[in-house]
């Protein structure tokens, strides 16, 4: 049996996908955002080395790529978890205690905002108003919305995802 590094194989596979995405759009002007979108689907986020490769192949400055990545909130330079937790820090949620809810997530998961747990199960982010102020304070986990939360609710919610 040959020893094959699954991590290397996976990253080679991703690198190949990245090359074909770039090749598909290389000759289309204004395609940077589309390339970044598809690259993020492959990697789950946009690490610097991926941005560097895109800049090189599209023959544009890395600063331009980084500028776009940091401008649009849908792009992330940090890895995301299988379950993406977003704590709304808009005014209504903040006033109703979003900060305490956020603190509880940070303590329970031992990660800070913008980080991901080591097992890549959870990532934690703060976001702007998601338009559900009547349910403040609001947290989303992937497509699920949790409203009127208190810090005491956090354990039950996370326990549910831990079991999945």
Contacting residues toward ligand FES, per CB under 6 A: 88, 90-93, 129-133, 136, 138
Residue nearest to ligand FES (CB): 90
Determine the Cα–Cα distance for residues 36 and 22; give it in Å rounded to an integer: 9
Q: Are 114 and 124 in contact (CB under 8 A)?
A: yes
- Taking the complex as a whole, the smallest distance from the CB of residue 14 to ligand FES amounts, in Å, to 35
* Closest CB to ligand FES among residues 18, 136: 136
- Taking the complex as a whole, the smallest distance from the CB of residue 136 to ligand FES amounts, in Å, to 5
* Closest CB to ligand FES among residues 33, 130: 130
- The sign one gets for the Cα dihedral 92, 95, 101, 107 is positive
- Taking the complex as a whole, the smallest distance from the CB of residue 91 to ligand FES amounts, in Å, to 6
* Closest CB to ligand FES among residues 61, 134: 134
* Closest CB to ligand FES among residues 2, 73: 73
Cα distances (angstroms) measured from residue 132 to each of 74, 101, 138, 146: 19, 16, 7, 10
* Closest CB to ligand FES among residues 19, 142: 142
The three-point CA angle 111-115-116 to 5° equals: 85
Please give the order of strands across the beta sheet that includes 144-146.
Answer: 122-127, 83-88, 139-141, 144-146
Reading the block at residue 157, the tokens are: 């919610």
- Taking the complex as a whole, the smallest distance from the CB of residue 94 to ligand FES amounts, in Å, to 7
């Amino acid at each position: 049996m040959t020893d094959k590094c699954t991590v290397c194989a996976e990253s080679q596979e991703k690198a190949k996908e990245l090359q074909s995405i770039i090749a598909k759009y290389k000759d289309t002007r204004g395609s940077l955002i589309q390339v970044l979108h598809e690259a993020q689907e492959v990697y789950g986020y946009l690490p610097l080395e991926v941005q560097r490769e895109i800049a090189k192949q599209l023959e544009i400055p890395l600063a331009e790529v980084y500028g776009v990545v940091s401008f649009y909130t849908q792009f992330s330079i940090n890895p995301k978890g299988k379950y993406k937790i977003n704590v709304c820090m808009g005014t209504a949620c903040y006033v109703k205690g979003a900060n305490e809810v956020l603190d509880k997530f940070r303590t329970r998961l031992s990660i800070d905002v913008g980080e991901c747990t080591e097992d890549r199960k959870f990532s934690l982010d703060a976001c702007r108003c998601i338009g559900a102020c009547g349910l403040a304070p609001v947290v989303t986990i992937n497509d699920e919305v949790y409203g009127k939360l208190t810090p005491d609710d956090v354990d039950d919610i996370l326990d549910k995802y831990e079991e999945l």
